[in-house]
């Protein structure tokens, strides 16, 4: 591999710009958005970021409004919605205005100074707790919630409360694996279901810190239930508690002291989630979801009769529901990041929150137009914005699970849609490769029946699409129209990112904890970087959890890739994983830690040498686009290359040798309609004089490509 890199050094920086232009990086010579270059990356948890190549000037360009809203509660008196959002509690007005984050870490009392209190209240290594469920108690202006912390090899769980503004956080009780929570304000009790298969309760007020820590204030009213209890609701007037059981898809109820257990609804064809009661109206409402994630909200009489289907939910897992009985409204959350409301019968649906970005995957840059593109897997969209994150637009909507994305010059977006089915072998699934115009029009299926495709790269020189199949551990390719599908590499282990070096005719990919490359046809596989090569550069603690996205800087002969990290003994992927971006030479030498980020995709904005461009002074708009003969031809010093554009668009004008290798990029930018000319002084991209002989000038414009022959004589 070292010899390969050495042999290409003379021409690497000359030819690399063509690859970047053709592969959709969209470099505008002399118009780079940032002088020193930028790395852009997508993070499913935290939006879209960028920083300089030296890891300075970190910016978050696009931030999710909502990440994964779950259980919700209403404060009708103050006109507020409260909901859990994975690691925080948020609130807004009932109409979605005035969004706020609520703190949820308790404060250690100064008078209590022993290890167990500190350990519970302030988890080690900065690990955040997961909010499980919330409930509001309006008489005392309090909000209660269940939470769960990981300490590496064990858990600490608790029931907490605070004022409605997030102040004065207190412990109410310790628990095992608490989930749903409900309040009996009249009886002065807080109830919760435990993932261990029990229902517990504790006093709302009056418990000592010692009884909270040793658990003596907790009463288990029911034990030995299914281990997948989801939520609980109380009918205090009728003296009943209701709960949903995910394990056997039932709704059960009992007296508040745990006696007289009975099944209210059985044999439901879904996993049950949240439950809420309208005691006055004699109704119970619940949310459910299928194994594919789609969900619904239903209701029935309190005795289980008269089941009524109210609403379908596109992503129903972890859905929370709450009732505003005064105004006859039903509120619910959707795992894709929305909060909605409707009348109690499911009519008059309103969208209160729709996230700007929910779970971005893949990213591609069109620097010439000043745009970036990404796929949002949970929203099911292809998005576009300016490079600084402004002017966000959804170009394509209604997709299943779009992930990797690539640009075909200035004309097309290609993306993979992984679908919702994954097979252990390489059998056909619901995944596909699709394409559309840059404005989102003319959507077409290119390849269908794929088994969980994940990443994509384009070879427009040879007219090929490459993609990874996570389900089959395969890299495949096809023509740009989806024909001639073939396996390029098989037997891989959890292949992730993919990138093409069209100059060196190489394909690079990340596989578990290594980077490998081969020829574009899959021959001559080489190991470039292994996990042991980078171990001493990693942040302290945790272990490698594989490599992800990858990108190439072929001007500087660099590989950039993402290394995933996991903290010790963690079981929640999204809570305890983080990412680091590394780079090395193309042969794997000189490995550097660049910075953090990039879990789901990275893209490079690399500055390049300035091109030569001289617009013609003729004002008229040509009737047709095309490349005119250069003058003089033959030439011995310089020649003028004229071209015309009938319509505006991206233009690439390049010089090639007789082997079809790019020698000089003259133009690579967006033009308005008109007549133009560029001058070539018979020098390559490095500024060195070329040899005497035949060359070709090639014009790429919106709607066509033209080539003409040049003769250089000295």
Please count the other Cβ atoms lying within 10 Å of the Cβ belonging to residue 315: 22
Percentage of residues of the chain with pLDDT beyond 90 = 22
Instruction: Please give the residue that has the higher pLDDT: either 466 or 694.
Output: 466
Q: What mean pLDDT do residues 548-568 have?
A: 79
Least confident segment among 144-158, 291-305, 442-456, 656-670: 144-158
Cross-sheet strand order for the sheet of 464-469:
453-459, 464-469, 474-479, 486-489
- pLDDT band per the 50, 70, 90 thresholds, residue 535: low
For the chain, what is the mean pLDDT? 78
For residue range 630-639, what is the model confidence (pLDDT) as tens digits?
Answer: 888 888 788 8
Looking at mean pLDDT, say which of 124-133, 248-257, 529-538 comes out highest.
248-257
Q: What mean pLDDT do residues 325-347 have?
A: 86
Inter-residue contact 173 to 158 (CB < 8 Å)? yes
Least confident segment among 173-177, 359-363, 410-414, 566-570: 566-570
Q: Give the pLDDT confidence score for residue 542 in this predicted structure.
A: 52
Inter-residue contact 89 to 102 (CB < 8 Å)? yes
DSSP state, residue 635: B
* Pair of tokens at residue 609: 């040498």
Please name each of the domains of the chain with its CATH number: 2-64+356-605 (2.120.10.30), 69-353 (2.120.10.30), 614-712 (2.60.40.1930)
CA distance 458 to 454: 14
Least confident segment among 382-391, 441-450, 682-691: 682-691
Q: Give the pLDDT confidence score for residue 446 in this predicted structure.
A: 95
Q: Give the pLDDT confidence score for residue 68 in this predicted structure.
A: 67
Give the global pTM: 0.64
72 closest CA partner among 231, 244, 235, 309? 231
Least confident segment among 204-213, 348-357, 364-373: 204-213
CA distances 642 to 433, 474, 615, 649, Å, are 38, 46, 9, 16
pLDDT at 531 over 50: yes
Least confident segment among 46-60, 110-124, 205-219, 666-680: 110-124
For residue range 378-403, what is the model confidence (pLDDT) as tens digits?
Answer: 788 999 999 999 999 999 988 988 98
Looking at mean pLDDT, say which of 58-72, 129-143, 484-498, 531-545 comes out highest.
484-498
Inter-residue contact 57 to 322 (CB < 8 Å)? no
In whole angstroms, how large is the CA radius of gyration of the chain?
A: 30
């Amino acid at each position: 591999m070292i010899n390969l890199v050495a042999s290409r050094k003379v021409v690497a920086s000359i030819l690399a710009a063509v690859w970047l232009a053709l592969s959709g990086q969209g470099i505008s010579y002399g118009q780079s958005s940032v002088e020193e270059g930028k790395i852009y990356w997508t993070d499913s948890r935290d939006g879209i970021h960028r920083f300089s190549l030296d890891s300075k000037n970190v910016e978050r360009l696009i931030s999710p409004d909502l990440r994964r809203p779950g259980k919700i509660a209403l404060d009708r008196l103050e006109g507020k919605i409260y909901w859990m959002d994975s690691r925080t509690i948020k609130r807004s007005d009932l109409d979605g205005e005035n969004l706020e984050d609520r703190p949820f870490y308790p404060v250690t009392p100064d008078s209590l100074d022993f290890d167990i209190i500190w350990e519970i209240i302030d988890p080690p290594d900065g690990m955040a707790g997961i909010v499980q469920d919330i409930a509001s108690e309006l008489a005392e202006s309090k909000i209660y919630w269940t939470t769960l912390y990981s300490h590496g090899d064990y858990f600490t769980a608790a029931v907490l409360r605070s004022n409605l503004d997030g102040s004065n956080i207190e412990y109410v009780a310790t628990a095992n694996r608490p989930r749903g929570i409900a309040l009996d304000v009249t009886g002065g009790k807080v109830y919760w279901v435990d993932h261990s298969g029990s229902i517990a309760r504790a006093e709302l007020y009056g418990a000592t810190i010692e009884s909270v820590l040793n658990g003596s204030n907790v009463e288990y009213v029911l034990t030995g239930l299914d281990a997948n209890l989801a939520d609980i609701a109380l009918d205090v007037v009728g003296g009943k508690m209701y709960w949903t059981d995910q394990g056997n898809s039932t709704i059960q109820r009992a007296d508040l002291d745990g006696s007289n257990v009975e099944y209210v609804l059985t044999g439901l064809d879904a996993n049950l989630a949240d439950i809420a009661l309208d005691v006055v109206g004699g109704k119970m409402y619940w949310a459910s979801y299928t194994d594919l994630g789609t969900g619904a909200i239903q209701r029935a009489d309190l005795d289980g009769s008269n089941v009524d289907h109210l609403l379908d939910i596109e992503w129903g897992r972890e859905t929370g529901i709450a009732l505003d009985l005064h105004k006859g409204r039903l509120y619910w959350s959707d795992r894709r990041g929305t909060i909605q409301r409707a009348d109690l019968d499911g009519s008059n649906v309103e969208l209160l929150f729709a996230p700007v970005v929910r779970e971005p995957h893949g990213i591609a840059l069109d620097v010439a137009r000043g745009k970036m593109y990404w796929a949002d897997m949970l929203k099911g969209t292809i998005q576009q914005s300016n490079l600084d994150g402004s002017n966000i637009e959804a170009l394509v909507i209604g997709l299943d699970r779009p992930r990797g994305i690539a640009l075909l010059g200035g004309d097309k977006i290609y993306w993979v849609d992984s679908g919702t089915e994954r097979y252990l072998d390489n059998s056909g699934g619901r995944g596909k490769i699709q394409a559309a115009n840059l404005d989102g029009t003319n959507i077409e299926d290119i390849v269908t029946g794929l088994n969980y495709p994940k990443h994509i790269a384009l070879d427009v020189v040879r007219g090929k699409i490459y993609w990874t199949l996570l389900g089959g551990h395969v890299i495949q390719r096809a023509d740009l129209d989806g024909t001639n599908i073939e396996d390029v590499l098989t037997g891989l282990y959890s292949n992730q990112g993919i990138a093409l070096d069209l100059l060196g005719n190489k394909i690079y990919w990340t596989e578990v904890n290594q980077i490998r490359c081969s020829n574009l046809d899959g021959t001559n596989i080489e190991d470039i970087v292994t996990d042991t090569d980078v171990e001493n550069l990693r942040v302290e603690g945790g272990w490698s959890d594989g490599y992800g996205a990858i990108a190439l800087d072929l001007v500087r002969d660099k590989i950039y890739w993402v290394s995933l990290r996991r903290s010790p003994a963690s079981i929640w992927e999204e809570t305890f994983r983080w990412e680091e971006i590394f780079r090395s030479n193309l042969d794997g030498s000189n490995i550097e830690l660049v910075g953090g980020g990039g879990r789901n995709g990275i893209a490079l904005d690399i500055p390049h040498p300035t091109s030569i461009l001289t617009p013609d002074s003729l004002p008229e708009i040509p009737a047709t686009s095309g490349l005119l003969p250069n003058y003089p031809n033959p030439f011995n010093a310089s020649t003028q290359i004229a071209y015309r554009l009938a319509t505006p668009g991206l233009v690439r004008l390049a010089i090639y040798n007789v082997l079809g290798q790019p020698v000089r990029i003259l133009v690579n930018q967006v033009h308005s309609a008109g007549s133009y000319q560029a001058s070539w002084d018979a020098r390559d991209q490095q500024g060195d004089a070329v040899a005497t002989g035949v060359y070709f000038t090639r014009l790429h414009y919106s709607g066509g490509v033209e080539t003409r022959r040049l003769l250089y004589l000295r």
